[in-house]
């Protein structure tokens, strides 16, 4: 049973300060290579920008996301596209898609095997699964520093507050094959990612890493962030902007 979690997503902050998520996803659309009249599921569609782009290929696209707030925003922006609130571990489709496309989502989904089973289930025979998400070592410099500062403040670090799953290629492709996919492409790469402006790191942590500081009072949280920023500036702050140490995985699998 998957525990229902609080919807902490902020669509306004996502669109205004983290549009790079969709921008980088455009390369993934090239890897997907959508065909006319294909039926495609955009899994973890966020506020719908890439879903909209997929429709420009004369495809039939449905966007799903676990966050009701993100789906509401997507519907406001693109009212002609069907968007639904659904969890990647319990999709309400079966063998009806030519492709499942997912960008910057699967590192949020645990257990990963359950998401892969659901993706396999919703694809037609011969359908393809095309994904990009955080891989082994993703934002490790940032998270190591936050964890260090938590301990320096005399707070017990809680591994359960780490919200992500960042696998190696070997780990993830093995899971894909165990589910039944033929893996045709797998790539792990560095992607230094610009976090706009002086507050870029804080905005990023507020948007994506807030659970790392779950249960910590506001004064100590502010102290942890301030000290982390000061120590990280030497390695991640350049010419007035923060550069996050992103590492990504891209995979393509075919349903046999």
Calpha distance 242→196 (Å, rounded):
7
pLDDT at 106 over 60: yes
Q: Is 124 inside any structural domain?
A: yes
Strand runs labelled E in the chain: 39-43, 60-65, 83-85, 97-103, 123-134, 181-195, 237-238, 241-255
Collapsed DSSP state (helix, strand, coil) of residue 149 = helix
Q: Is 178 inside any structural domain?
A: yes
Calpha distance 247→123 (Å, rounded):
28
Give the residue, 2 or 138, on which the prediction is more confident.
138
Q: Is 208 inside any structural domain?
A: no
Q: Is 110 inside any structural domain?
A: yes
Q: Is 115 inside any structural domain?
A: yes
Calpha distance 207→81 (Å, rounded):
25
pTM: 0.89
Calpha distance 133→3 (Å, rounded):
22
Q: Is 226 inside any structural domain?
A: no
Instruction: pLDDT band for 157, please (50, 70, 90 cuts).
Output: confident
Average pLDDT, the chain: 90
Q: In the chain, how many domains are there?
A: 1
In percent, the amount of the chain with pLDDT more than 70 equals: 91
Calpha distance 108→199 (Å, rounded):
24
- Structural domain range at position 118: 11-139+164-196+245-255
- DSSP-derived letter for residue 4 is P
Long-range contacts of range 84-88, CB-CB < 8 Å, 24 or more positions apart? 87/2, 88/43, 88/44, 88/115, 88/118, 88/119
Centroid of chain to Cα 79: 23
Q: What confidence score (pLDDT) does residue 133 get?
A: 97
Q: Is 205 inside any structural domain?
A: no
Contacts of 92 (CB under 8 A, 6+ apart): 84, 86
Q: Which domain CATH number covers 51? A: 3.40.50.150
Q: What confidence score (pLDDT) does residue 7 get?
A: 55
Q: Is 79 inside any structural domain?
A: yes
pLDDT at 1 over 90: no
Q: What confidence score (pLDDT) does residue 18 get?
A: 44
């Amino acid at each position: 049973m998957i525990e229902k979690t609080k919807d902490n997503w902020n669509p306004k902050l996502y669109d205004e300060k983290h549009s790079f998520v969709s921008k980088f996803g455009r390369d993934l659309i090239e890897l997907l290579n959508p065909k006319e009249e294909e039926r495609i599921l955009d899994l973890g569609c966020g506020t719908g920008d890439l879903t909209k782009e997929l429709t420009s290929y004369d495809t039939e696209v449905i966007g799903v996301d676990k966050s009701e707030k993100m789906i509401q925003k997507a519907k406001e922006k693109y009212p002609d596209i069907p968007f639904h609130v659904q969890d990647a571990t319990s999709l309400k489709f079966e063998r009806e898609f030519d492709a499942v496309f997912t960008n910057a989502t699967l590192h949020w989904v645990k257990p990963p095997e359950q998401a892969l089973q659901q993706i396999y289930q919703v694809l037609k025979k011969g359908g393809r699964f095309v994904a990009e998400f955080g891989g082994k070592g993703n934002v490790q410099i940032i998270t190591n520093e936050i964890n260090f500062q938590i301990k320096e403040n005399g707070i017990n670090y809680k591994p359960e507050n780490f919200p992500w799953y960042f696998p190696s290629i070997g780990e993830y492709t093995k899971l894909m094959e165990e589910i039944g996919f033929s893996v045709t492409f797998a790539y792990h790469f560095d992607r230094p990612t610009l976090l706009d402006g002086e507050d870029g790191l804080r905005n990023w942590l507020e948007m994506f890493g807030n659970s790392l500081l779950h249960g910590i009072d506001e004064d100590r949280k502010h102290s942890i962030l301030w000290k982390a920023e000061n120590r990280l500036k030497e390695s991640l702050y350049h010419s007035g902007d923060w550069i996050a140490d992103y590492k990504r995985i891209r995979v393509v699998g075919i349903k046999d």
